[in-house]
């Protein structure tokens, strides 16, 4: 049960503006996070080709490495989420970026690895990168949600995600301008630069007030499972995000396979499909905050965008597209539809009290990313019997059913005062 606390609001941060330093740094942090998170999806084919893998191996080994990265995100989400509520939002923002910056620089040396199998090393480094990447968005959204006035919260978090998601575009063109190894080095360098920017960011006043109350239990991940109402809210938060990673992790990442199944003569580049998907996602995220404000409802804005993603997903799979241009255009449209990612993470932050907020906001998106593992395994397992198109459709059907059920039944949080604790 959520109970009010704190006699008054902090005196410094509640009136922070949309373009204050914490918001700008959170946006740049998410930019670097998305650059590094999507980089393997973009370089999957060329990097594994350089390591001497066959086309069949590129599909299976590539899926395996993606799963290792997503497994790291799942583990890291819990680690950083708990740390964010126990030690502060800033501790996560510093610790996570150091971890994934080092891992990305290490990925640039894969072709020089002789002390172990390069593919195993690749998977291990993507796992470590995943652990680091897990902390960025949740901690940033939590911090921004707590320092902005209630009426600016949706727009502020949308700006963070909208700007940050263009990291995927920069990642794609970095690979095109240089090569996949240099792209990893650039990612690591961007992380180090961002680390210096964060020195001037201050901690959330809400969190600081909670630390002064010694009796408050902070960052208890298992408390999500000890109360039926809290567990229901937590699981629904996760389910809302499933369609986003179905589109990214299945339809865009394996777009080369869908292109062949659809009979498209031109070879589809997954990296380009992912890039266009994220361009759409960025614009969708920028729009989602304003849509939420206009509807005065998180639920209505997310349901609208989810419906757009569903419609264009069906067109992608079953309307007989026959050109690469149309496929990339549909990736753009589906990306706009799943552009409720920031709103989804904001909902996760708003559903829980200050003593569990970072844990929720950090673990929820990474639980969704971690669920890409069973999505991918299900897709791969169903391909031989159902074919590529229908295998993808089955995974998508499950994702959208759960997503719509969750967003239509979760408590509304538009305009909710976040100055409270979870009992």
User: Of 100-109, 191-200, 339-348, 350-359, where does mean pLDDT reach its minimum?
Assistant: 191-200
Where on the phi/psi map is residue 422: left (φ > 0), alpha (ψ -120 to 50), or beta?
beta
Residues 129-167 have pLDDT tens digits of: 999 888 777 777 777 777 777 777 777 777 887 787 788
User: Of 80-84, 231-235, 249-253, 283-287, where does mean pLDDT reach its minimum?
Assistant: 80-84
pLDDT above 80: residue 410: yes
pLDDT above 60: residue 241: yes
Structure-token match 């208890």, residue found: 220
Q: Count CB atoms within 10 A of the CB of residue 383.
A: 18
Query: What is the predicted pLDDT for the residue at 2?
Result: 46
Does 98 map to a domain? Answer: yes
Residues 296-348 have pLDDT tens digits of: 888 999 999 999 999 999 999 999 888 999 999 999 999 999 988 878 888 88
Q: Are 421 and 355 in contact (CB under 8 A)?
A: yes
pLDDT above 80: residue 227: yes
pLDDT above 50: residue 4: no
Contacts of 7 (CB under 8 A, 6+ apart): none
Does 4 map to a domain? Answer: no
pLDDT above 60: residue 202: no
Contacts of 131 (CB under 8 A, 6+ apart): 72, 73, 75, 76, 79, 99, 100
Does 263 map to a domain? Answer: yes
pLDDT bracket for residue 12 (50, 70, 90): very low
Query: What is the predicted pLDDT for the residue at 152?
Result: 75
SS (H, E, C) the chain: CEEECCCCCCCCCCCCCCCCHHHHHHHHHHHHHHHHHHHHHHHHHHHHHHCCCCHHHHHHHHHHHHHHHHHHHHHHHHHHHHHHHHCCHHHHHHHHHHHHHHHHHHHCCHHHCCCCCHHHHHHHHHHHHHHHHCCHHHHHHHHHHHHCCHHHHHHHHHHHHHHHCCHHHHHHHHHHHCCHHHHHHHHHHHHHHHHHHHHHCCCCHHHHHHHCCCCCCCCCHHHHHCCHHHHHHHHHHHHHCHHHHHHHHHHHCCHHHHHHHCCCCCCCCHHHHHHHHHHHHHHHHHHHHHHHHHHCCHHHHHHHHHHHHHHHHHHHHHCCCCCHHHHHHHHHHHHHHCCCHHHHHHHHHHCCCCCCHHHHHHHHHHHHHHCHHHHHHHHHHHHHHHHHHHHHHHHHHHHHHHHHHHHHHCCCCCCCCCCEEEC
Query: What is the predicted pLDDT for the residue at 289?
Result: 81
Does 259 map to a domain? Answer: yes
Q: Are 70 and 104 in contact (CB under 8 A)?
A: no
Q: Count CB atoms within 10 A of the CB of residue 387.
A: 12
Does 2 map to a domain? Answer: no
Does 212 map to a domain? Answer: no
pLDDT bracket for residue 3 (50, 70, 90): very low
pTM, 2 dp: 0.77
pLDDT above 60: residue 11: no
CB-based burial, 104-113: b 16+ in 10 Å, e otherwise: bbbbbebeeb
Of the chain, the percentage scoring pLDDT greater than 90 comes to 28
Query: What is the predicted pLDDT for the residue at 116?
Result: 87
Q: Count CB atoms within 10 A of the CB of residue 155.
A: 18
CA distance 264 to 271: 17
Number of domains in the chain: 1
Q: Are 243 and 403 in contact (CB under 8 A)?
A: yes
Over residues 205-214, the mean pLDDT reads 52
CATH number, position 193: 1.20.1250.20
Query: What is the predicted pLDDT for the residue at 212?
Result: 53
Q: Count CB atoms within 10 A of the CB of residue 236.
A: 22
pLDDT above 70: residue 415: yes
Residues 254-307 have pLDDT tens digits of: 999 999 999 988 988 888 898 899 889 888 988 888 888 888 888 999 999 999
pLDDT above 70: residue 27: yes
Contacts of 263 (CB under 8 A, 6+ apart): 322
The highest-confidence range among 14-23, 84-93, 208-217, 317-326, by mean pLDDT, is: 317-326
**62 CB-side CA count, 13 A:** 30
Query: What is the predicted pLDDT for the residue at 247?
Result: 95
* Average of per-residue pLDDT values in the chain: 82
Does 133 map to a domain? Answer: yes
Does 417 map to a domain? Answer: yes
Query: What is the predicted pLDDT for the residue at 204?
Result: 47
pLDDT above 90: residue 398: yes
Contacts of 383 (CB under 8 A, 6+ apart): 391
Task: For residue 242, give its domain range.
Answer: 10-204+220-422
- Answer with the residue of higher pLDDT: 340 or 20: 340
Query: What is the predicted pLDDT for the residue at 42?
Result: 81
pLDDT bracket for residue 6 (50, 70, 90): very low
């Amino acid at each position: 049960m959520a109970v009010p606390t704190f006699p008054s609001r902090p005196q410094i941060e509640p009136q922070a503006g949309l373009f204050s330093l914490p918001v700008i740094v959170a946006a740049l942090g998410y930019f670097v996070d998305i650059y590094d998170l999507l980089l393997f999806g973009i370089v999957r084919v060329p990097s594994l080709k350089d390591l001497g893998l066959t086309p069949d191996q590129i599909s299976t080994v590539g899926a395996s490495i993606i799963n290792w990265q997503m497994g790291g995100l799942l583990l890291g989400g819990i680690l950083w989420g708990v740390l964010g509520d126990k030690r502060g939002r800033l501790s996560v923002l510093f610790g996570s970026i150091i971890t994934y910056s080092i891992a990305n620089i290490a990925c640039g040396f894969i072709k020089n690895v002789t002390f172990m199998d390069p593919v195993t090393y690749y998977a291990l480094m993507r796992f470590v990168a995943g652990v680091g990447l897990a902390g960025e968005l949740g901690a940033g959204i939590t911090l921004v949600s707590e320092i902005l006035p209630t009426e600016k919260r949706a727009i502020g978090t949308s700006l963070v995600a909208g700007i940050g998601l263009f990291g995927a575009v920069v990642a794609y063109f970095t690979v095109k301008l240089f090569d996949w190894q240099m792209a990893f080095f650039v990612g690591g360098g961007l992380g180090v630069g961002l680390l210096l920017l964060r020195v001037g960011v201050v901690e959330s006043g809400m969190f600081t007030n909670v630390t002064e109350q010694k009796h408050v239990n902070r960052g208890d991940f298992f408390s999500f499972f000890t109360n039926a109402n809290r567990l229901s809210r937590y699981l629904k938060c996760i389910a809302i995000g499933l369609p986003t990673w179905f589109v990214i992790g299945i339809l865009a990442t394996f777009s080369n396979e869908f292109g062949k199944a659809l009979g498209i003569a031109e070879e589809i580049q997954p990296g380009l499909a992912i890039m266009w998907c994220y361009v759409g996602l960025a614009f969708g995220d920028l729009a989602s905050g304003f849509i939420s404000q206009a509807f005065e409802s998180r639920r209505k804005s997310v349901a609208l965008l989810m419906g757009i993603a569903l419609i264009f997903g069906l067109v992608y799979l079953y309307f007989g597209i026959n050109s690469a241009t149309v496929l990339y255009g549909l990736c753009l449209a589906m990306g706009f539809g799943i552009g409720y990612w920031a709103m989804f993470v904001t909902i996760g932050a708003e559903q829980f009290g200050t003593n569990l907020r970072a844990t929720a906001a950090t673990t929820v998106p990474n639980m969704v990313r971690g669920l890409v593992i069973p999505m991918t395994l299900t897709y791969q397992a169903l391909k031989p019997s159902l074919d590529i198109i229908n295998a993808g459709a089955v995974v998508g059907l499950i994702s959208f059913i759960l997503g719509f059920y969750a967003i239509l039944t979760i408590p509304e949080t538009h305009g909710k005062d976040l100055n409270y604790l979870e009992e």
